[in-house]
Amino acid sequence: MKIYIVTDLEGPAMVSRFTQTRVAESPEKSIAMKLLTWEINAAVDGILDVDPDAEVIVWDGHGSGGIDILEFHPCAKLIARGPIGPPYYLDESFDAQFFIGQHAMAGTDAAPLAHTYSSKSIEYYKLNGRYMGEFGCRTVMAGTLGVPTVFIAGDDKAVLEAQALVPNICGVATKQGLKLELAIHLSPKRSQELIRAGASEACCRIPEIRPFVLDPPYEQEIRVKEDVSIEGYLKRGAEKIDERTVIKRSENICDLFI
């Protein structure tokens, strides 16, 4: 068995403030990174409970880095932060994709740390007319490679977002969102226990969960927040719709901003 894990720093239990996740290194962020890494390790343990010989590749998907490398599972492999683009070394050889530490898309009501790619600059993404966050875009990308997305751990709104696209996905809610920076959290230990069990269940259900696919051509609409420039998107092939909105079209999803 070969599993690809996408990670982010906003979704673990006990993380619900942007000061815990932003670029500057701080004691708050260091603790959040440990919390995420322990949840990743729990998922790896759950995978290995099903297949002791499984190959697990983890991609640190948090912009400023979210994994404590000194705490990282000894039986997994890490794609660390660096110059990387879609499909992030995911390919057809993987049996399934997992998400750990996931948050909901920008604009989701009562979702802790909800955003789409950038909490400071993006108002929304749409893909083929449908609002999509990071989970949705990367699940579609995996689907084009024939890889099903079978597990998500994150806040309850992120799990609901995932279930809307993949109804039979295995999900673990690490916290109940109340506001953008407020949640009711599971304890780290309980969250890790549930993630380990959920990861094992997801491995057993891989044959039942189909890849989520959107047929090309792809049209991605991006709207930025007030006073944010769209010039960077235009230089990379997007078309201007108005001062805050661009569209990029392609037959290949990996050409988009995902």
Q: Greatest CA separation found in the chain?
A: 53
* pLDDT of residue 100 exceeding 90: yes
d(CA 126, CA 176): 26
pTM assigned to the model: 0.96
pLDDT of 72 reads: 98
CATH code where residue 45 lies: 3.40.50.10780
Residue 60, sorted as left (phi over 0), alpha (psi -120 to 50) or beta, turns out to be beta
224 occurs within a structural domain: no
10, 44 Cβ separation under 8 angstroms: no
* pLDDT of residue 248 exceeding 90: yes
108 occurs within a structural domain: yes
36 occurs within a structural domain: yes
Read out DSSP for 193-244? Answer: HHHHHHHHHHHHTGGG-PPP--PSSEEEEEEEPTT---HHHHHTT-EEEETT
For residue range 3-51, list pLDDT tens digits in order.
Answer: 999 999 999 999 999 999 987 778 999 999 999 999 999 999 999 999 9
Closest CA to 50 of 199, 169, 152: 199
How far CA 129 is from CA of 43, 73, 77, 154, in Å, comes to 33, 39, 36, 25
18, 181 Cβ separation under 8 angstroms: yes
pLDDT of 23 reads: 76
d(CA 75, CA 184): 32
Number of domains in the chain: 1
For residue range 133-192, list pLDDT tens digits in order.
Answer: 999 999 999 999 999 999 999 999 999 999 999 999 999 999 999 999 999 999 999 999
d(CA 238, CA 53): 44
59, 89 Cβ separation under 8 angstroms: yes
pLDDT of 144 reads: 98
63 occurs within a structural domain: yes
256 occurs within a structural domain: no
244 occurs within a structural domain: no
233 occurs within a structural domain: no
d(CA 13, CA 117): 20
* pLDDT of residue 224 exceeding 80: yes
111 occurs within a structural domain: yes
The residue segments making up the domain with residue 23 are 2-123+130-214
Query: Which residues neighbour 109 within 8 Å (Cβ) at sequence distance 6 or greater?
Result: 157
